[in-house]
Structures are given as structure tokens and as C-alpha cells.
Amino acid sequence: MTQKEFQDRTGITPTEEEFDYIHAVYMETRLDKDDFCKDFIKHGDSKIVRDVHITAVNYEMAIKNFKSNTDCLADFLIGKSRAYNDTDFRTEAMRLVGEKEVVLRTVRMGLPLWDEDKQFIESYLSR
């Protein structure tokens, strides 16, 4: 929804910063534009809505950060599994991201495939 669409539907003229918040909240709902605007007129200034939105954004950022750290750790473990020829590192990487992702990352990293990787590829392709 554009700022003009919001203004036409609500009669509210938000600042650019306020509309950024409004649009972010709108994008997180399943409401159509008209229903959202009707509800926003009733509850738009709600401190509860703002707090819940801030909490949701903070959790979303934390999840992205956690996923990024998990991805880095998985890559590290895959690399160490090959460097030390140790399946325990591969097992831990699989626990973090799953076997399919471990095999994909192994290929992308240009590392040698082990028998376990080849067996997974074969079983995956024969489905």
C-alpha cells in the first residue's frame, strides 16, 4: 500500500517515518488495504501494537543473526570434518542444518565427497 492509498482510506497524513512503521505493520498482516486502514483508525496509536511490533522485529533480527551464526558454524564444522577426516564434525553440522544442506555446502565449498555424501545424493536422486 502506498502512503497516498493510506491517506485516502484513513484521512491520516503520517510523516515518512510514521508511514514506514505503518507500512511495516501492514506488511505483517493478512488484512487487505481497506480492512487494515479501518482497524488502524481504531488501534493505530495503540502502545500495545507498537510494543508487539518492536518485539516481533527484534525477534526477527535475532533469528536472522542466529541463522547466520549457525550457517558459519556449519561451514566451519564441514571444513574441519574434511581437514581432520573426522565424521563427528560432519554429524554436528548435520545436526545444525540437516544432511541435505551439509552435502550441498560440501559441494559448494569444493570439498571431497565422502561415501556418506554420495549415498545421500544417490538416495535423494532415486526418489
pLDDT in tens, 65-82: 999 999 999 999 999 999
User: Mean pLDDT, the chain, as a whole number?
Assistant: 96
Most distant pair of Cα atoms in the chain: their distance: 67
Q: What's the angle, vertex CA 40, arms to CA 37 and CA 41, rounded to 5?
A: 90
Q: What is the pLDDT at residue 45?
A: 86
User: Residue range 33-53: average pLDDT?
Assistant: 93
Domain range annotation of the chain: 1-45, 46-127
Residue type present at position 95: R
Which pLDDT band holds residue 106 (cuts at 50, 70, 90)? very high
| 31, three cell numbers | 488484512
What percent of the chain lies above the pLDDT cut of 90?
A: 96
CB-count burial class (<10 Å; 0-12, 13-18, 19+) for 78 = buried
Per-residue model confidence as pLDDT tens digits over 89-103 = 999 999 999 999 999
User: Which of 99, 102, 98, 100 has the alpha carbon at shortest distance from 77?
Assistant: 102
User: Residue range 105-119: average pLDDT?
Assistant: 97
